[in-house]
Each structure stands twice: as C-alpha cells, then as structure tokens.
C-alpha cells in the first residue's frame, strides 16, 4: 500500500478505568480503504481502544487524529458525523424500536453517501422481511445485521467492528465476513476486533495483536507467522 497520511492515527494512546490502566501507549495507524484486524485475548484492551477512537473512553496524555485533525475530547456523536461509525460488541440495539427504526438511527449522522435503507436491505434481505418486528424478537445473527446496517447508514469513512462473530453460529459468521468486501468496495476502511484469528486474517491487510493493553505484534496479515501470533496473543 502506498504510504500516505493515515486516515486514523493514535499516538501513545493510554486509557484507564478509574485506577485500573487498560491501555499502555498504543501506536496505531489506519489508511484509507484498508482493513486492519486487532486480535488478542479477553482483557487485552481491544474494545477499550475502539471506545477511545469513538470518544466513549477518554484517552490520557495521548493524541488521536482523524483525517489529520485531533479528535481527543470530541463528543461521540460528532465523531460519527465526521465519519467514524462503530458496530459495538453486543449490538446495543434499542429494544423498544422496530428493526427499521433501529436502522434509521444511523441516519441521524446526516452524512451523505451511497448507503441507503434500500441498500442495507439488499445486503441483508433477512431483516427486510422483518423490518416492522421489534429488534429483540430477531435471532442473534439478524440482530447483528441490524447493528451493521445501522452503522452503514451513517455513511462512514471508517467502520469499527467489535466482535461481530460473538455468540453466532459458524455459518452466520462466514456469511458476515463474506459481505465485508462489498462494504470495502465503497472505500470504507475497516477496523475488525476479533478473537477468531483465522477470520480476522482472511479479510485484513494488516494486523495488530494486543496483549495486556500493549501492542505485542504488528505487520502485514498475509505475512503473519502463526507461531509468532500465538506467542504475541498469549504473551509467551
């Protein structure tokens, strides 16, 4: 990939929950149109890192740049309007809303782009058939479709995916990962947090392995040595 200015850059990113330090100086770069996988065990800091990018968790003595502009301290809704959207772990749908109402929440970002309600339904026909059902009446896989569709309706430049495979059957997981190239085709850059190493590496250009709040390994995904990944993943 041609070396240009990163779309997202985190410099010496640190974060804490009260007195408990979660991230210890993460350096990270994401370039336009690429897919980056972040792998690591539970508690490695992956979700905290994404929450820092979204402004949900405050980064400490750190710098986060998006399109060259500092976004530290910017409210989450403004970060979405600038062009970063997230599919959160656990989906976080609104139980009182229908499928379609949950999807339309994504349009509150008021960003123009190619992702429309009709296009989300083309990507996920299963939820079109259930558009007027309450979201919590859907299966786990269908709920994840709604969560992804909601983020796409924000027409982001960057899509953060936090454990989209969690709790789902292998056939559903494969179907989600098979759709990621269609999302990337619009130029959307992806950050994929995943515990399933094989799934992550299959779609990523580069990888970061987190271990206890630090980057233990990074490099091109197609050159990743599995023994080194296991060692970095487990911290051995």
For the structural domain made of 8-234, what CATH number should be given? Answer: 3.40.50.300
pLDDT, residue 118, reads 96
Distance of alpha carbon 215 from the chain centroid: 17
Among candidate residues 34, 24, 186, 41, the one with its CA nearest the CA of residue 116: 186
The model's pTM: 0.93
Token representation of residue 99: 């499928």
pLDDT tens digits, the chain, 236 residues: what are they? 446 899 999 999 999 998 899 999 999 999 999 999 999 988 999 999 999 999 999 998 899 999 999 999 899 999 999 999 999 998 899 999 999 999 999 999 889 999 999 999 999 999 999 999 999 999 999 999 999 999 999 999 999 999 998 888 999 999 999 999 999 998 999 999 987 888 888 999 999 999 999 999 999 998 888 888 888 877 76
Gyration radius from the chain CA atoms: 17
Domain ranges of the chain: 8-234
What do you get for the CA distance between the two ends of the chain, in Å? 31
**DSSP states along 132-171:** TSBGGGS-HHHHHHHHHHHHHTT--SEEEEE-TTTT--HH
Sign of the CA dihedral with 11 first, then 62, 207, and 122 last:
negative
Contact by Cβ (8 Å): 176, 148 = yes
């Amino acid at each position: 990939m041609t070396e240009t200015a990163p779309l997202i850059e985190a410099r010496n990113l640190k974060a804490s929950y009260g007195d408990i330090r979660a991230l210890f100086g993460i350096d990270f770069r994401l370039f336009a149109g690429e897919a980056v996988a972040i792998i690591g065990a539970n508690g490695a800091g992956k979700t905290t890192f994404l929450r820092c990018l979204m402004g949900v968790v405050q980064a400490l003595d750190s710098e986060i740049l998006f399109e060259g502009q500092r976004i530290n301290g910017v409210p989450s809704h403004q970060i979405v309007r600038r062009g970063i959207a997230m599919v959160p772990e656990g989906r976080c749908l609104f139980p009182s809303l229908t499928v379609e109402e949950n999807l339309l929440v994504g349009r509150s970002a008021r960003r123009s782009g190619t992702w429309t309600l009709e296009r989300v339904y083309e990507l996920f026909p299963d939820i079109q058939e259930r558009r007027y059902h309450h979201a919590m009446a859907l299966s786990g896989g269908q709920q994840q479709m709604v969560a992804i569709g909601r983020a796409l309706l924000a027409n982001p430049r960057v899509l953060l995916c936090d454990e989209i495979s969690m709790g789902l059957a292998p056939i559903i997981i494969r179907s989600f990962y098979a759709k990621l190239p269609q999302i990337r085709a619009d130029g959307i850059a992806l950050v994929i947090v995943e515990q399933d190493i094989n799934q992550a590496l299959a779609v990523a250009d580069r990888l970061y392995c987190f271990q206890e709040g630090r980057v233990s390994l990074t490099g091109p995904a197609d050159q990743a040595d599995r023994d080194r990944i296991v060692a970095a993943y487990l911290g051995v």
